[in-house]
Structure 1
Amino acid sequence: MPGVLSRSAAWRALAAAAREGGPSVAELLDQDPQRFERYSLALDDLLVDLSRHPLTEPVWRQLLALADERDLAGRIEALFTGEPVNASEGRPALHTALRRPPGEALTVGGEDVAAAVHRELERLEALVEALRAGRWRGYDGRPIRHIVHIGIGGSECGMTLGCEALAAEGGGGPAVHIVSGVDGRELAEAWRRIDPAAAVFVVASKSFTTQETLTNARTAWAWLAEAAGREVPEQFVGVSADEAAMARFGIPEGQRLRIGEWVGGRYSLPSAMGLPVAAAIGTAAFRELLRGMHDMDRHFRTAPWAENLPAVLGLLGVWQISARGVGSHVVLPYHPGLRRLPAYLQQLDMESLGKSVTQDGTPVATPTGAACWGEVGGNAQHSFFQWLHQGTGRALAELIVPLDEAACPAAHRGLTLANALGQAQALAHGHTPAAGEPAAAHRAYPGSRPVTLILFRRLDPYSLGRLIALHEHRVFVQASLWGINPFDQWGVELGKQAAKALIPAARGEGPPPAEADAATRGALAWARRWQG
């Protein structure tokens, strides 16, 4: 692994250029009629337009040089060949193996990981086909028509995104209800919508120890047993890396789906975790999702830097965050099916890049990561776009637009694209009021807001898989340049441990733990007055 980023010659040149400033984005666009062609990359129907970033040819050359100085090619090969790139946990990150086509072997530690993945995928597909064909029946003989997926974090976010984004693909599939919150309200809402005799509960937890998931699962087990007059293990499926834990819970052997320890939750959609998505859209469509991911994997591994979409996005992200002071990555999908995409990328970005030490444990020398958030673009235009256009924060806006409008009424066609392009243009160019214009200071837009525009033909399983993999690899590039580990998440654990110790006091079953501070004790005392 190369030394710290700040010692790279290319990085020092990039940082110096950022300090010196340069032409505005509007000036760059006005000066170069070929700027769109110069700073846009394409892969089939997928366009990534970077022309609204303040890129110049010297900056572009230094960004590409930075990839070589930081040995990005070596890091990519280490990822794909199963080296222990997750250094703090001493294991590989093999999520790309989850979407390798049959026949592409990958041997790691003496095991053909790809073959094991395909065996589990076949088991997943057998369960899905039984569900969709009506052969899986509940305790009174009626076919299963509902899936209640119980998971949280990486075991929930990708499943919700997949089911919402691909809802149009799901003819004939069971209805999917996703439960994550620990307070029981989501579970009660799911019960209101389902018939217990026609529902399967999927308990999804890599460790099978997640407090929220197991609490909900035990409550669901008891609810179903009460409805049936007996325990009904045949209406439960488990997805975990710990088969013994699934067995202890009571999941039947044929309904225990396994995932590898080497896949993080935020990368688990193409694994057996994706059961609810596969059930909703069908196995052929699920295979298309995997194919889209694999095609982006192959592009990332083989394309030269200047044409490599994830590499260029990662290089650009590091430059914007660490050299130009951008603190936010705002995700703006212009399609209602991608409503959950900002939250999905929020976990991917912030869990992966929210690190303050390098792989060897030394403090980082530059800012890493950014706050990742967003909303469906059309809605956001009427809320926080005010902050994007005229606020003092520095944000990178990513506008994502599927182009196919076949499902839209004729009067609505073209409006989404026009809005996205109009906002991109306004963010880039800004506006200077005319002399004497009323309230001129309030009507001024500074412009030069960096914008990434992503266009593709239509939202379908293939394009969704490709888009997800694009961002997975973009995050990996950023982590590689900063020298941090994107595959651990130790920061998630501390708050969980504190919460576990507070459960008895929060339930009124005992005093606060000794380590609870005065503020926590005060809040507990106040809560007891009003909990009822």
Structure 2
Amino acid sequence: MTSLANSPAWKDFCGAVKTSEIGAHALRILDAAGLSVDLSTQRHSADVETAGKQLLKAQGFESARTQLFNGSPINWTENRAAWHTALRATEPPVAVAELIKHERERMLSFVDQANAKNQYRNVVHLGIGGSDWGPRLVVESLTGLTGRRTMRFASNVDAHAITAALDGLDPHDTLIIIASKSFTTTESLANAACATDWLRAGGVKRPLDQFVAITANVKAARDYGIDNDHIFQFWDWVGGRYSLWSSIGLPIALGLGADVFAALLAGAAEMDEHFLTAPIESNVPVQMALSGVANRSVLGYASFALCPYDARLKHLIPWLQQLEMESLGKSTTRDGDTLDVPSSPAVWGMPGTDSQHTFFQWLHQDNIGAPVDFILCATPDHRYNRHHRLLVANCLAQRAALWQGKSYERALEEVQRTEKDPVKASILAQHRVHPGGRPSTLIVMPRLDAKSLGALLALYEHKVFTQGVIWGINPFDQWGVEFGKQLAGDIERRLDALGSDPEVSPYDPSTAYWVKKLAGS
């Protein structure tokens, strides 16, 4: 049995992390692809740096990174490549260059024709998970850059989502995009059926003429009735949650422009180059990954919070939740053994400063708390300078408070200014003590534009990949998701029994009860 916990490299890393200085230490800011990443309040020392390099070596990081970029089957449970880096490379690898360039040219030609004809003032994108969060994040984060079309997204199978997305639009000037890698996704196809009915009810005689499919299953899209010219392909070597860079990015090009999509790819490609070539000690995704592993597996933090201090980045949180938790939410290593150290923190968060009035109390004074990734734009895209100063001040203050904390002596001194009773003052001071020493990372973007956003997303992709290598797990499959889908399909068939007594013995008593209770609903 392969044991990470008992490996010499892991023991050295744990020891170095636990004995590293936890007070304020030297400034540690790394730069990559235009982003500045401040790791000054993460555990670090010369010993941590040395041990981190040895851990990466022991876990085969260099080889795994090479496999990622050269298209080897790094997704070993499905025997597939995970070649999303090829999609944004300036010169894609020869083996897939023609495929990538051809499909991108088709997609951009479709956008150019739609623009030239002034078609599709409205676009409704139907996808879920990786087919939704990426394009939704980019479109809604960068909408202020342009506004050629009204862009709406519907992912949830709850019909309130699709009806809200269609509400108030002109059926004759609306394009429906079905984004599904397999073209069997229940939610997307159910919503597409609603959209078809809506178009037909609005007087559109040939609804499927206003549909586009983005899929790896071209035949299924054709069988659905979508014209070949409206089908855009990506491939099984593109993971769903890494598919933003493929034809899944069509709504970005339609809503924001082809130049914005190109800049997004360029920012990601620049981060790819940094990840591939920068030395370990200055490699930002690698250093963020090592800090993440230290926080989760050594220091015991079960979660981390993502707090972008830019309201436009609200969808970055669910995007990263999927990337981190679907990629790393596993406990089986490559050889089939159970991983013997904690992995995959839960990811949660909210944009600042709303987050400060929601959960920062817990971050500051809970017994354990959680690390925080702060994200800040140096330059805003509005003219309200005081608002931006307030935003920056709050971001930096919260981060400083989490690290510095507040001692009992300092709290007592504050309380004694107004409370003269020494017993009461002592009690009240205890309530104002902040433990401090809580790790965080600050990522500063020059401004929120397509290039910086592309670099940011690729940064997190490579951080997650590196953590997967260290933990020895496959970050590119999602068997837990697939199991839930299988059960849902079976339960739906039983619910369709329309009042008869469906056979529900395979289920636990509670599930069986509700299947019977809700059958025919």
TM-score exceeds 0.5: yes
Secondary structure in 1 aligned to 2:399?
helix
Aligned partner of 2:508 in structure 1 is: 517
What does 1:359-374 correspond to in 2, within 5 Å? 359-374=334-349
Q: Structure 1 pair 415/180, CA: closer, same or farther in 2 (3 Å)?
A: same
What does 1:368-447 correspond to in 2, within 5 Å? 368-434=343-409, 435=412, 436=422, 437=425, 439-447=428-436
Structure 2 residue 120 is matched with structure 1 residue 121 = no
What does 1:155-304 correspond to in 2, within 5 Å? 155-171=131-147, 173-228=148-203, 230-304=205-279
After TM superposition, give the deviation of residue 193 of structure 1 in Å.
2.3
Q: Structure 1 pair 506/393, CA: closer, same or farther in 2 (3 Å)?
A: farther
8 Å CA contact 2:218–2:231 kept in 1: the answer is: yes
Residue identity opposite 2:100 in structure 1: V
Structure 2 residue 59 is matched with structure 1 residue 59 = no
What does 1:88-103 correspond to in 2, within 5 Å? 88-101=77-90
8 Å CA contact 2:495–2:516 kept in 1: the answer is: no
After TM superposition, give the deviation of residue 280 of structure 1 in Å.
1.0
Aligned partner of 1:140 in structure 2 is: none
Structure 2 residue 60 is matched with structure 1 residue 71 = yes
8 Å CA contact 1:152–1:212 kept in 2: the answer is: yes
Secondary structure in 2 aligned to 1:447?
coil
Structure 2 residue 440 is matched with structure 1 residue 458 = no
Secondary structure in 2 aligned to 1:439?
helix
8 Å CA contact 2:21–2:44 kept in 1: the answer is: no
8 Å CA contact 1:132–1:174 kept in 2: the answer is: no
8 Å CA contact 1:155–1:266 kept in 2: the answer is: yes
In the alignment, the residues of structure 2 paired with residue 369 and residue 429 of structure 1 have an alpha-carbon distance, to the nearest angstrom, of 27
Secondary structure in 1 aligned to 2:408?
coil
In the alignment, the residues of structure 2 paired with residue 50 and residue 232 of structure 1 have an alpha-carbon distance, to the nearest angstrom, of 52
In the alignment, the residues of structure 2 paired with residue 246 and residue 514 of structure 1 have an alpha-carbon distance, to the nearest angstrom, of 36
CA deviation digits over 1:266-309, x for unaligned, max 9?
A: 10111101111111110011100000000000110011101111
In the alignment, the residues of structure 1 paired with residue 166 and residue 206 of structure 2 have an alpha-carbon distance, to the nearest angstrom, of 17
8 Å CA contact 2:297–2:342 kept in 1: the answer is: yes
Q: Structure 1 pair 69/516, CA: closer, same or farther in 2 (3 Å)?
A: closer
Residue identity opposite 1:195 in structure 2: D
Structure 2 residue 302 is matched with structure 1 residue 327 = yes
After TM superposition, give the deviation of residue 232 of structure 1 in Å.
2.4
* Worse-superposed segment, 355-364 or 334-343: 355-364
Match of residue 470, structure 2, among 472, 478, 481:
481
Q: Structure 1 pair 528/106, CA: closer, same or farther in 2 (3 Å)?
A: closer
Secondary structure in 2 aligned to 1:10?
helix
After TM superposition, give the deviation of residue 394 of structure 1 in Å.
4.1
8 Å CA contact 1:8–1:66 kept in 2: the answer is: no
Structure 2 residue 36 is matched with structure 1 residue 47 = yes
Q: Structure 1 pair 462/44, CA: closer, same or farther in 2 (3 Å)?
A: closer
In the alignment, the residues of structure 1 paired with residue 146 and residue 53 of structure 2 have an alpha-carbon distance, to the nearest angstrom, of 42
Match of residue 343, structure 1, among 308, 314, 318:
318
- Unaligned runs of 5+ residues in structure 2 are 413-421
In the alignment, the residues of structure 1 paired with residue 219 and residue 73 of structure 2 have an alpha-carbon distance, to the nearest angstrom, of 25
* Worse-superposed segment, 519-528 or 338-347: 519-528
Residue identity opposite 2:13 in structure 1: L
CA deviation digits over 1:397-429, x for unaligned, max 9?
A: 100001102414133231111111101100001
8 Å CA contact 1:4–1:482 kept in 2: the answer is: no
CA deviation digits over 1:168-192, x for unaligned, max 9?
A: 1224x21111011112111111221
Residue identity opposite 2:219 in structure 1: A
8 Å CA contact 2:373–2:443 kept in 1: the answer is: yes
Report percent identity of matched pairs.
38
Secondary structure in 2 aligned to 1:268?
helix
- The number of equivalent residue pairs is 505
* Worse-superposed segment, 438-447 or 232-241: 438-447
CA deviation digits over 1:360-380, x for unaligned, max 9?
A: 211112111110111102110
8 Å CA contact 1:131–1:174 kept in 2: the answer is: no
- Unaligned runs of 5+ residues in structure 1 are 136-142
What does 1:4-23 correspond to in 2, within 5 Å? 4-18=3-17, 21=19, 23=21
After TM superposition, give the deviation of residue 231 of structure 1 in Å.
2.7
After TM superposition, give the deviation of residue 4 of structure 1 in Å.
4.3
In the alignment, the residues of structure 2 paired with residue 189 and residue 407 of structure 1 have an alpha-carbon distance, to the nearest angstrom, of 29
TM-score with structure 1 setting the length: 0.91
8 Å CA contact 1:389–1:446 kept in 2: the answer is: yes
Aligned partner of 2:93 in structure 1 is: 106
Residue identity opposite 2:440 in structure 1: V
Residue identity opposite 1:106 in structure 2: P
8 Å CA contact 2:212–2:231 kept in 1: the answer is: yes
8 Å CA contact 1:299–1:308 kept in 2: the answer is: yes
CA deviation digits over 1:346-371, x for unaligned, max 9?
A: 00000000111112211112111110
After TM superposition, give the deviation of residue 463 of structure 1 in Å.
0.4
In the alignment, the residues of structure 2 paired with residue 507 and residue 485 of structure 1 have an alpha-carbon distance, to the nearest angstrom, of 37
8 Å CA contact 2:491–2:515 kept in 1: the answer is: no
Structure 2 residue 307 is matched with structure 1 residue 308 = no
